[in-house]
Amino acid sequence: MLLYRSMIYLESLNDKQKEAVLYEKGPLLIVAGAGAGKTKTITHRIIHLIHQGVKPSAILAVTFTNKAAKEMRERVLALLGERVHGAQSESPFVSTFHALGVHIIKENAHLIGLTKHFAIADEHDALVIIKDAMKARDIDPKQYEPRKIKSIISKSKGDFVTVDTFNQNANSSLASVVGLIWRDYERALKNEKALDFDDLLLETVLILKKYPEVKQMYRERWQYIHIDEYQDTNEVQYELVKLLVGKDENICVVGDTDQNIYSWRGANIKNMLHFEKDYPDAKIILLEQNYRSTKNIIEAANSVIGKNQYRMPKTLFTENKVGETISVYEAYDESYEAKFVASKINELLRDNNPEDIAILYRANFQSRILEEALLAEQIPYQVLGVKFFERKEIKDLLSYIRAAYNRESLSDIKRIINTPTRGIGKVTLVKLFANQFADLPATMQIKINKFYELLGDMKDYADIHKPSEAIKFVIEKSGLEEELSHGTSDEQERLENMRELVTLATKYDGMPEGVGMEKLLEDASLASDQDSLIHKKDDKKQGVRLMTVHASKGLEFKYVFITGLEQDLFPHTNGSKTKEDSEEERRLFYVALTRAEHKLYLSYATLRTIYGMKQVNSPSEFIYDIPSHLTEREKSSGSSGEKIIYI
């Protein structure tokens, strides 16, 4: 093909990208800044290797998400054209880490007592097994929360810790319980001939370690290895990669220490920082040219991330236009902030499509007030994740309130009678709803009576207190607060979302007794319905995007709003103020900044209602990291809502 004879595929690359593509032998570390074309570089390098005579099937490329793997695979195949004739065996092996694990385990399943048709236990399946194990051992799920146990097991496996190693080092009552349940959990998986997601990687590593001939087989099969987003690898993934690298050390890893934002799920930035120690002959190439953003945005991003210590130094640059200044808006409170965002978006929609615009926030609970403002302006939007009133914890809270006022609401009773766990099983519920209460054992009758007494207490309290106070009461007395407050980061986020419902309820506190709560329940239902209607009449691809900064990684938009830039919210303290945590928060802000192509809007609220109480906030330290000549500041008066613009 002419494409290969002329090497025309090199013409679209800059000098550094071309250098990375043409480097054929030995270890290679590509430090790729945001918007620097890393996927393009990897795919073109794979094409070049094939052009140089490397068999496509000798090339392995691994990334983290199915979407990224699909994109890379399609790009490679498109550039290869008819060369591979669609034959899988003659194509590069492009996959996620977990898919790679499945592939290797299926080919060697007999070595670990499985068949190639082994089952994979998803997160729900895993949690059910853990709950059953706890029940069998009479371990109180209120004292030792099942999700937390699952999280500890998962994190341990990701750190390459086996159940035996874990038990040897157990030094607390929680660790002892985890170790006990973990053994039962593994036994149940074995009985079902199943592996969980973490096992897909851990067992793969164990196979390669235990059977040198298997390891050698894969080293000979995949002579050229490419790893995307290397800064996000955990210990098991790191070990897996090292085991697959052959004596020629033809490994190419691509990543950016400045975009390491997943330490909470095991990502170890040291894996990338120590690449030169692992491979002393490594060549390092910096991809610093950004193709996404304006000069102003890039200068701001460089200024922010330059304050971090744990990073591989680089300085992004771009040949794009200077662009607009960065808008910094000081809102009186979160309501003014949301109205500002909605107002600016309305202006932008005169000349842009909704999907060109993204609103980013540090924590999921922040979406509620923003959704409300967009709905008021009839601006179509999509939440990446779950919309506020559709979140499980919010539905649970609303079900408690509705059931307290209406004990005939069976759907609400079903939802909450065992949330949190009260030991009331499905058989009991069937009899209860069939009016066979008298047939139940005395112990179960007591549990059910206590539940209905709880609903009575909630109604009595709600009848004489403000809606926000009533919801606080429900959160506490239901057991939901206790269940979530000491759990995983996901569980603490769910608790934050419930507390945001308290904040919403303060809007109804001034209404006559009994009216406020009724109106809150009505509005919650209507908000959900209205939202559905808006999305039905618009194309699925249409809508302003709302998401956490974590969810935005890998995406880009013409216009980006970063909201809630207040100290302790963004950066989020999470109860920790270590240097490592502080630097990760800064990396998170850097990721947010570099999602924008044309224009950035930063905003914060002087007052923000948290858990029903107004808090005075300081602007985020990150705002002050941006040189003042790059920004234009606006502020709301708070009383009239008029804006004051100052330089």
Assign 535 a pLDDT band (cuts: 50, 70, 90).
very low
Q: Is residue 124 over pLDDT 90?
A: no
Task: Read off the pLDDT of each residue in 435-459 and give the average, rounded to a whole number.
Answer: 89
Q: Is residue 486 over pLDDT 80?
A: no
Output the pLDDT for position 27: 96
Output the pLDDT for position 416: 87
Identify which has the larger pLDDT, 27 or 435: 27
Assign 170 a pLDDT band (cuts: 50, 70, 90).
confident
> Percent of the chain scored above 90 by pLDDT?
55
Determine the Cα–Cα distance for residues 79 and 557; give it in Å rounded to an integer.
26
Assign 72 a pLDDT band (cuts: 50, 70, 90).
confident
Report the 3 state secondary structure along 337-383: HHHHHHHHHHHHCCCCCHHHEEEEECCHHHHHHHHHHHHHCCCCEEE
Determine the Cα–Cα distance for residues 76 and 425; give it in Å rounded to an integer.
52
Assign 273 a pLDDT band (cuts: 50, 70, 90).
very high
- Residue among 228, 232, 500, 597 flagged as catalytic: 228
pLDDT per residue as tens digits for the range 180-205: 999 999 999 988 888 898 999 999 99
Query: Do 171 and 146 touch, CB atoms closer than 8 A?
Result: no
| Residue 231 CB coordination number (10 Å) | 25
Q: Is residue 425 over pLDDT 80?
A: no
| CA-closest candidate to residue 240, choices 207, 268, 263 | 207
Average pLDDT of the chain? 87
| Residue 152 CB coordination number (10 Å) | 20
Q: Does the active-site annotation cover 131? A: no
pLDDT per residue as tens digits for the range 591-646: 999 999 999 999 999 999 888 788 899 999 999 999 999 999 988 766 444 444 43
The pTM (predicted TM-score) of the whole model is 0.80
SS3 617: coil
Output the pLDDT for position 241: 96
Q: Is residue 512 over pLDDT 50?
A: yes
- Residue among 24, 39, 70, 643 flagged as catalytic: 39
Q: Is residue 381 over pLDDT 70?
A: yes
Q: Is residue 142 over pLDDT 90?
A: no
- Residue among 229, 288, 299, 585 flagged as catalytic: 229
Q: Does the active-site annotation cover 38? A: yes
Cis peptide before 571 (omega within 30 of 0): yes
Q: Does the active-site annotation cover 595? A: yes
- Residue among 41, 259, 294, 548 flagged as catalytic: 259
| Paired residues of 252 in beta bridges | 28, 226
- Residue among 150, 311, 595, 635 flagged as catalytic: 595
Task: Read off the pLDDT of each residue in 243-262 and give the average, rounded to a whole number.
Answer: 93
Output the pLDDT for position 574: 64
Q: Can you state the angle between helices 489-505 and 146-158, rounded to 10 degrees? A: 140
Lowest-confidence segment of 35-39, 465-469, 481-485 by average pLDDT: 481-485
Q: Does the active-site annotation cover 39? A: yes
